[in-house]
Structures are given as C-alpha cells and as structure tokens.
Amino acid sequence: MVTHIISLPTDVLVIIFESLSIQTLAALSQACHHLHFAVNRFGWSSHLLANTRFSPSTRHALSLRPPRDQVKYHHLSDIAWREERFVARPLSSAWPGAFRRPALAVSHSRLVVASRNLVDSYTFHSPQIPTQSPQIRNETSVTLGGGAAADVITSVAPVHDPNGAEFYIGLASGIIARTSVDVSGSGTLHLPPVTEAVHLGDSVLALSSKEDTLLSVSQNGIATVSIAGCVETLDLKTRAWICHLSTNHAMFGLTSKTPLIVHAIRPSGISTQPAHILDPTSQDTHSKSAVFGICSAPPRAAWGSEQVIVSGWYNGSVNIHDLRTSTRPHDSYSPSSVPHLLPVLSFVDPSVDPIYCVATGGGSSSYVAAGLARHGMVAFWDIRNSRSSGWSVYAPGNDSSPVYSMVLESSRLFGVTQARPFVYDFGQGVVEDTFPPFRSTRAETRALKKQEDGPGYYVTTWRHSQLP
C-alpha cells in the first residue's frame, strides 16, 4: 500500500491529502521518509486550505508559522473547546456611567468596540515567541464629536478595505458614516462630510456589511441597502432590532407575529416583499415575539452555507433555519403567500432569558453561541451533538447586563456587556502579554478575581444538564 502511494504523482497526493484527517496525515508522515517529506511539504498546507477557519485575530500571526504548527494550533484549540477549557479575560476596565448599549465589530486587523461616544480600537499582532498565542494590543481610544446625544454610536460594521482600519458607524441621530479608527493625536474622532445613508433622526440599531454592500435598519423599521454608494430604502412597518446580510439575502429581526423575515437581494435591488418568513418551533407559531440576534453558519464548515440562518429569540430559544428546506403549510394568521419555514434545529437556554445576540464558529466551526439578557452570560451548543445539553459561562466581572454583541472565531470569542469588552481564548500559549494591560478600579476588585496560576480571571461555568 505504501509503495502505491509513493508512486503517485505529487498533484494526486495533494488531492488525497485534502480529504484526510489530522490523525491520518500524522500517521502517513511517520510511514517513510518519502511520505514524511510529502506530508510536510504538501499535506498540512492542503489540510489548511480545505479547512479554512474564521479567525481574524490570529490569522496573520499563525500564517507566519509552518503549516504543521498551524494545524497543531487549531487541533489543540478544538480539543480545548470539547473540554470547555479557556482563558477568560476583560479587555478593559469598566466604563463609567449608567446604561449604555455597546457594539463591537472585527476586521482582519482590528477589533473595534463602541460605547456611547467612545471608540476603542484593538489591533492584532504576532508574539515575539512563536509558540505563544497571537497578541491583542490596545491601539487607540477616541471620542466621537462633542459627546452630544446625537453622537451616541449605536452600531458598528467593518469596511472590507485592505488595511482593516475603516468601519461603518451608525448613530442615534440616524447617520451612518464611514470612518477610519487609525487615528492619533487629538483623541477626537470627527465624522467625514459624506455619509452612507441618513435615517432622519431614527436611531440606527444595526449594521451588516459584505464586500461593497452595507445593510442597515433603524429603530422604527426603516432598512437601507447601499451597494457601491447606491442606496435603496425599505419600510418594514414595525419595530426592528437587528439585520444580517448575506450575498443574496437580507434578514431582519423584528417585534411582530412574524419576527424573522428574509428579503431577496437581486441585481435590481432588494425585494419589497419577504422571500421567506422564518417561524419558531411548531409549538409557538402564533404569539407575538421578537428576534434580537441573527447570523449565518460558518461558510467553510460542514454545515456552513449562507442558506443556513441562526437566530436568537426573546423567548430564550436559538433557532437554525435552512432556506433550502421545504416550506411549511400556509398559516391562517398570515394573509400573504410568502412561504414559511420551520427550524431544522433549536436550542433553548435553561434560564429562558431573552437572547440578545448570536454567533457561530468555535472548535471545528461547529458551535453556536448566544449572549443572554442577564448577568453577562454566554451559552454554547455543539451542533454535532444536538441532543446533549450545552453549557454557559459568565463574562469576567459578573456584570448585571446583557451580552449585547459577540464575534466568535475559531479559538476566541469576543463579547461586550454594558460594563466592558471581554474575550474567551481557547488557544494554546496564552500568556499575560497576549492581552492588553488594564487597571481595575477599586469597585471592580471584588468582582474581578485573577487566577493565581495564569493570565485568566475566574468565571463560573456550568453544564445545562446540571440545572434542575
């Protein structure tokens, strides 16, 4: 058998390597000198190409390592996910003041966190010691305008520019602007004279971007789609909370009897009527509800497709819909002919708290994360084992707050409460220098307890099966 493999041309070996598991590649590399060379030369890099991970904060640093070391990092991270083993860390001290609804976004080079008029930017770096985890550094902290109520930032989304420094920001005044956070000097962020869209005093609650397209939705349900500067407007005629953009669809989370709707995006523009209405489980299809969080499945995962939509609901459920499934029977309470779809999979947090945000990714790109409405909690489920219960964890500091926004990477989750941003890091080689330093206030000392034997902070985790 080994002789047959050795005799194969290199291009055929590369095709074979793409479909092999890590364990099989490792075994082949120990079979003989020829296969050891072939696996190290082609096998690990082929595996990486066939198993692309969404991980902006580690991508550049890991790309400097040999392919085998990159595969090792991801493999050990996947094991840490299975064992629920991670480092929890605040990224800053608590913000002063009362209620705020912060937002965060990630580009390929930065994490941006917006809270009221404040914008904090964190950049991603390679560590000096290659075996250590990729680093996160505090780049700048700037204030938008003069701090007026109209300058409160309500949403953020990345601009897909080469250096990752530009972001769209939505304001309480209804303005959507494209601006760069790569600033220094004055500490003040000034809006550019040209804005992407104006919602005429209606607070911009959510933004979603993809390539040259920007989707927005305001508090009163006015949606805009901007494609290469050409703006279309759509009135959803109800209270809106969230939007999400894919290549061919725009999804909206509303307060309604049909709180999750999908509109088609065509070359001619966005459809005026929904293409799909996504219902909750069959036991709860007639009551008025709300959807606060929407995202897509990881594109390169086994279950990944832009046709798969993950949503977080007010009743504490996380529903997964597949637009490729057959439609459900037409409901009497909906006079339209728009097809309704039931979830293909649902999860429910035992606390039955409203879900404020959702994200997908994690180990083997197979996890769903939900930010809950109370106590800064995040719940996780592994879609490969949907019958087993998930697990939950508090954010560092035990903030009495929802988790408002999250980004889930292959080895990290970034989240934000009304008090501070935080990270759960499942990667290897995490040290104190992996994260930006910060000073905890005297009031925070009791809530933020640092672990004695590492860079992390104590947080409480529990499996859902442990609850009565």
Instruction: Name the pairing type of β-strands 461-463 and 391-394.
Output: antiparallel
Q: Give percent above pLDDT 70 in the chain.
A: 89
Please tell me whether residues 290 and 391 are part of one structural domain: yes
Domain annotation covers residue 252:
yes
Residues 396 and 89: beta-carbon distance below 8 Å: yes
Please tell me whether residues 262 and 334 are part of one structural domain: yes
Q: In what order do the strands lie in the sheet with 222-227?
A: 204-210, 213-218, 222-227, 230-235
pLDDT in tens, 32-79: 888 899 899 999 999 999 888 999 999 999 999 999 999 999 999 999
Tokens of 347: 């999860």
Q: What is the DSSP letter of 352?
A: -
pLDDT computed for residue 64 by the predictor? 95
Please tell me whether residues 4 and 111 are part of one structural domain: no
Average pLDDT over residues 438-445: 74
CATH number of the domain enclosing 259? 2.130.10.10
Tell me how many degrees the CA angle 131-132-138 measures, rounded to the nearest 5. 150
Please tell me whether residues 85 and 40 are part of one structural domain: no
388 vs 402, higher pLDDT: 402
DSSP-based helix, strand, coil % in the chain, nearest 5: 20, 40, 45
Please tell me whether residues 275 and 339 are part of one structural domain: yes
Please tell me whether residues 39 and 95 are part of one structural domain: no
pLDDT computed for residue 268 by the predictor? 83
Please tell me whether residues 45 and 82 are part of one structural domain: no
Please tell me whether residues 279 and 392 are part of one structural domain: yes
Domain annotation covers residue 65:
no
Say which amino acid occupies 7.
Answer: S
Half-sphere exposure in the Cβ direction for 276 (13 Å, CA)? 26
Q: What is the mean pLDDT of the chain?
A: 88
In terms of residue numbers, what domain contains 220? 78-466
Residue 333: pLDDT over 60: no
Domain annotation covers residue 397:
yes
Beta partners for residue 408, in sequence order: 413
Domain annotation covers residue 67:
no
364: left (phi over 0), alpha (psi -120 to 50) or beta: left
Burial class (CB in 10 A: 0-12, 13-18, 19+), 415: buried
Domain annotation covers residue 365:
yes
Task: Pick the most confident of 278-282, 412-416, 443-447, 451-455.
Answer: 412-416
Domain count across the chain: 2
Tokens of 271: 């459809």
Residue 1: pLDDT band by 50, 70, 90 thresholds? Answer: very low
Please tell me whether residues 46 and 105 are part of one structural domain: no
pTM: 0.92
Whether the CA torsion 435, 441, 444, 448 is positive or negative: it is: positive
Please tell me whether residues 103 and 250 are part of one structural domain: yes
pLDDT computed for residue 298 by the predictor? 85
Please tell me whether residues 301 and 439 are part of one structural domain: yes
Domain annotation covers residue 61:
no
Please tell me whether residues 93 and 182 are part of one structural domain: yes
Residue 382: pLDDT over 60: yes
Residue 192: pLDDT over 70: no
Average pLDDT over residues 293-321: 90
Domain annotation covers residue 21:
yes
pLDDT computed for residue 65 by the predictor? 96
Domain annotation covers residue 58:
no
Residue 345: pLDDT over 80: yes
